[in-house]
Structure 1
Amino acid sequence: MSEALSAEDSVSARKVHEFFLDNGLQVIVIPDHRAPVATQMLWYKVGSADDPKGISGLAHFVEHLMFKGTEANPPGQFAKVVARNGGEFNAFTRNDVTAYFERVARDRLPTVMALEADRMSNLRFSDDEVKSERNVVLEERRSRVENAPNAILQERMMAALFPGHPYGIPVIGWYEEIEGFSPEAAVAFYKRYYAPNNAVLVIAGDVTPDEVRKLAEENFGSIPASETLEPVRVRPVTAAPSEPVVIQLADPRAGRITVQRYFPVPSYPSAKPGEAEALDLMMRIVTGGAAGKLYRRLVVEEKLAATAGGGYVRPLRDAGMLAFDAIAAEGVTAEQLEEAMTRFIAELRQGSVTQADLDRAKSSYLAQFVYAADSQDELAGHYGGFLSAGLTLDQIEAWPARIDEVTVADIEKVAATYLDPARSVTGILEPSAESLAA
């Protein structure tokens, strides 16, 4: 039996169930009866790429406001109820999705489902709460971006990689636009996108499909579908860079020299058949930790880097990204490290991946997938993330078999196509002259 079949068996053993409510809510049930625990994730198909022009960061801001309460559950009540029931919760906003997560004992699932259903349609917040939370987000941007040179560099690189496309705008938003957030903009965004026909509810754990269907109908069934939601969301088509872009940043807060290189590529939802899987495996071969070819070359063999890695940013709806990065070893210049990375990527583009490399990558990747299937959180995130990005349940469950079908020739093809230096954005971060002197 191949690794792919083992991975497929692991998924099918879960007997993932899918159904839709009359109002359009998509529900995924992943039974797991090993422990009396349930994980709930509610994914909204809206993220920072849907922010109105000139109001970047609004999707992330609305995520914050979702904890401000409703008439039935006033501000602070959500956290108190989850804590009182021994659960945990979290939320996050990405380019294409906003997700809310709760993990509780199975008999407390009705409680947290009622909380999520309530705030899907009954969110309330005052002008004072908007002002207060706006200050929280501004402080978050100051601490995570303004005071982090690497985050500043990455924002500039993304803007160059996706010119004219919302992916080039930071999820948290631009500082001056966050300052202008208004209650009216937040309400309009919430009413437009927070609706059952724009959401995926994933329940994993000690549950049955029948009981989840009953709970979903009771809690979400009466919420009306949004009538203003676009059937197909049209976003600007971004043109890849036509010549190499290099962005340099010197900052006294920087540690060692860092070199990063990005390439725009198709994502799983936007790629031609087989391309995303080939890109995925190629980057696992190249940037898979200490066993990756990039690490072995730059760190072990040439001793130019203290560490090296990267990856394939996959679950985006419109496009993906390949990332290569390295931190310079002591005494190594930015020019030396960049030249070594350039040479390595050129060899990769010419066909440096072997059959042995591919076999090892498939084996470890599919094994990792099987191990991840033992985690409710991982499974809920896996299905919810890809479904809300545009894949179907059948496509997700066929993933192990498609990975197993990738050949060395497939990897050579995507490497030659997408690792074009003219399409690249390189970022170089190094300490300023003053900090080097100090």
Structure 2
Amino acid sequence: MYRKALLGMALLGLSGVVAANPYEYKLANGLKVVVKEDPRAPVVVSQIWYRAGSMDEVNGTTGVAHVLEHMMFKGTRKVPAGQFSKIIAEAGGRENAFTSHDYTAYFQQLQVDKLPLAFKLEADRMANLALTEREFSKEIKVVMEERRMRTDDNPQSLVGEQLNALAFEAHPYHHPIVGWMNDLENMRVEDARTWYRTWYAPNNATLVVVGDVKHDAVFRLAQQYFGPLKPHALPSRKPQKEPLQRGIKKVTVKAPAKQPYVAMAYRTPVLRNVTEDWEPYALEILAGVLDGYSAARLNQSLVRESRLANDVGAGYDDISRGPGLFIIDGTPSEGKSVAELEQGIRDQIVKLQRDGVSEEELQRVKAQVVAAQVYQRDSMFYQGMLIGNLESTGLSWRDEKTLLAKLNDVTAAQVKEVAIKYLQNDGLTVATLDPQPLDGKQQPQPQAGEFHVH
């Protein structure tokens, strides 16, 4: 079968391959392979992305995507529990995994000649994971402790969790990636097995390789190791749209903390058509106007000048499978209240909506926003991240250049227009932290994402 498949690829001139860098090929079982040749160092990054994240979970099993990510390191029939990481380390590589609302991904960074090893191990656990009661009962305790450390004992994370839970009523972004504690306490190994059997298949995955490789050689390796795996039917994914928000929502979170904190989330669109949509690009530049560099408006006005805040920031992600949020958050200075900081933020928004941005400021912000994206592309790992993120959220790696070009095309009028349209109360959710006595407990530092630690 393998020789026949290779012959077919040769006869067709690798049909499906784009004559540019990156290169793409799809195996007969549905696995998409994207290769970015980057010869700057004799290393390679291999990432396998499954289009299944916490948004695909159902009530009662929240957190199962992240739990399965942990279990993927707990052995197959060929590789005993704990050996995956050891084998990669002994080969001089490093590996990890992460879960998001939209996808779950696993990666290795190795010397180029060790790429077959990464493929062999990943293909094995894509099809042959040994989900035992013994390993599950140990690992679910690890996940619950992770939730305690990252969320329950972290006041800002608690605020973020409640912010999402209130901002999203119908959409599963309502649920935390790590899962609700009660669901974790009642999760069983069969829940993980069901998730694995449902979503872990070559026709629900994208293999991304970046490094000092030749694409045709990588395609042959992918065919060798992943080609024999069988696809299976995937569940239909129903649209899950948020109902119209009809006014401001507010929640107060009481938790042990040193300082109060406020987070404001505005409902926004995300990219669905990279060439025709323009609002997401304008929203990204708007985030840069407010918090794209050290002299951006929020920091300059609220931290340096009025000293209302110790820190304040804005963020927006235009690429996701679900609905978007534009978030502004901050910690008030000592002696200042959350209400004062919130009003200070609102004043800056009103000023922007009224006066807009000058052409000079716009060009300065664009330079910062675009430069930040270009710098990320210097990293092999983040080149792979961009490709995997685009492919797993319904876009394409081919959109990369368009994304940068469209950012450069944003006008001052468009920035003002999206500020007026989306930074308004009817689409706003506000979560505040009401700090309670610490009782001598030390607060852990915030951690980003749901990365697996093993």
SS of the aligned residue for 1:222 comes to coil
How far, CA to CA, are the matches of 1:332 and 1:107 in structure 2?
Answer: 58
Question: What is the rounded CA distance, in whole Å, between the counterparts of 1:134 and 1:234 in structure 2?
Answer: 29
Instruction: List alignment gaps of at least 5 residues for structure 2.
Output: 1-17, 440-454
Letter in 1 for 2:426: A
Matched residue of 2:313: which SS? strand
Aligned position for 1:387: 391
Find the aligned partners of 1:333 and 1:13 in 2 and give their Cα distance. 58
Tell me the residue number matched to 1:63: 69
Is 1:160–1:241's contact at 8 Å kept on the other side of the alignment?
no
1-structure distance, mates of 2:234, 2:415: 42
The amino acid across from 1:425 in the alignment is: T
Change (3 A) 1:373 1:228: closer
1:293-308 pair list within 5 angstroms:
293-308=297-312
Q: Which residue of 1 aligns with 2:112?
A: 106
CA distance in 2, matches of 1:241, 1:270: 24
Superposition deviation, residue 276 in structure 1: 1.1
Following superposition, the deviation at residue 196 of structure 1 comes to 0.9
Contact between 1:270 and 1:317, CA under 8 Å: does it hold in 2?
no
Aligned to 2:32: 26
Question: What one-letter code is carried by the residue in structure 1 that aligns with 2:170?
Answer: G
- Provide the secondary structure at the position in 1 that maps to 2:207: strand
Note if 1:334 corresponds to 2:328. no
Q: TM-score, normalised by structure 1?
A: 0.92
Give the match for residue 213 of structure 2: 207
Change (3 A) 1:39 1:433: closer
Question: Residue 408 of structure 2 aligns with which residue?
Answer: 404
Q: In 2 relative to 1, CA 168–386 (structure 1 residues): closer, same or farther, beyond 3 Å?
A: same
248, 254, 258: which one aligns with 1:255: 258
Find the counterpart in structure 1 of residue 270 from structure 2.
267
Contact 2:281 2:318 in 1 (8 A): no
The one of 354, 375, 380 equivalent to 2:379 is 375
The yes-or-no answer on 1:281 pairing with 2:285 is: yes
The one-letter code sitting in structure 2 at the alignment partner of 1:200 is: T
Shift of 1:14: 8.1
| Contact 1:266–1:318 (8 Å) recurs in 2 | no
Instruction: After TM superposition, list the pairs within 5 Å mapping 1:414-425 onto structure 2.
Output: 414-425=418-429
The alignment of Structure 1 onto Structure 2 pairs a total of residues equal to 421
Check conservation: 1:39, 1:103, Cα contact below 8 A.
Answer: yes
Alpha-carbon deviation of 1:255?
1.8
Query: Who is 2:54 aligned against?
Result: 48
AA matched with 1:318: G
CA 1:50–1:400 in 2, change beyond 3 Å: closer, same or farther? Answer: same
Secondary structure in 1 matching 2:344: helix
Task: Report deviation, 1:367.
Answer: 2.3
- Using the alignment, how far apart are the partners of 1:391 and 1:96 within structure 2? 13
Q: State the shift of 1:229 in Å.
A: 3.7
Q: Tell whether the 8 Å contact from 2:131 to 2:193 is kept in structure 1 after alignment.
A: no
More displaced stretch, 278-287 vs 360-369: 360-369
- Equivalent residue runs for 1:167-246 within 5 Å: 167-230=173-236, 233-246=237-250
Residue identity (%): 35
1:310 alignment counterpart: 314
For 2:188 and 2:254, locate their aligned partners in 1 and report how far apart those are by CA, in whole Å: 35
Give the 3-state SS of the residue equivalent to 1:43 in structure 2: strand
The one of 36, 40, 48 aligned to 2:42: 36
> Once the two structures are superposed, what CA deviation does each residue of 1:5-30 show, in whole Å capped at 9, x if it has no partner?
xxxxxxx9982111111111111111
Question: Aligned match of 2:83 in 70, 77, 83?
Answer: 77
- Please state if 1:153 is matched with 2:172: no
**Contact residue 258 and residue 327 of structure 1 kept, 8 A:** yes
Q: What residue in structure 2 maps to residue 343 of structure 1? A: 347
CA-CA distance at 1:433 after TM superposition: 7.0
What is the CA deviation profile of residues 36-70 of structure 1, one whole-angstrom value per residue up to 9, with x for unaligned ones? Answer: 10001111000000012221111111111111111
- Contact 2:386–2:397 under 8 Å retained in 1: no
Which whole-Å deviations, capped at 9, do the CAs of 1:199-240 have from their partners, x for residues lacking one? 11110000011111001000111111122343xx21421125
SS in 2 for 1:290: coil
> Structure 1 residues 76-85 or 331-340, which shifts more?
331-340
TM-score by length of 2: 0.89
The 1:14–1:302 alpha-carbon spacing in structure 2 relative to 1, beyond 3 Å, is farther
- Amino acid paired to 2:177: V
Judged with a 3 Å threshold, the aligned counterparts in structure 2 of structure 1 residues 96 and 200 are, in CA distance, closer, same or farther, namely: same
Amino acid at match of 2:412: V
* Distance in 1, Cα, partners of 2:232 & 2:168: 30
Report the CA distance between 1:289 and its aligned residue.
Answer: 4.1
CA shift for structure 1 position 334: 1.8
Q: Are the counterparts in 1 of residues 63 and 176 from structure 2 also a CA contact under 8 Å? A: yes
CA–CA separation in structure 1 for the residues paired with 2:297 and 2:212: 41
Task: Give 3-state SS (helix, strand or coil) of 1:339's partner.
Answer: helix
Amino acid at match of 1:381: M
Moved runs in structure 1, 4+ residues, more than 6 A?
Answer: none
Within the candidate set 91, 95, 109, 1:89 is matched to 95
Aligned to 1:359: 363
Q: Distance in 2 between matches of 1:341 and 1:234?
A: 37
Question: In structure 2, how many angstroms separate the alpha carbons of the residues matched to 1:387 and 1:287?
Answer: 28
1:292 and 1:309 in contact (8 A); partners too: no
Q: Distance in 1 between matches of 2:301 and 2:373?
A: 27
Say if 2:63 and 2:179, in contact at 8 Å, map to a contact too: yes
Any idea what SS the aligned residue of 2:130 has?
Answer: coil
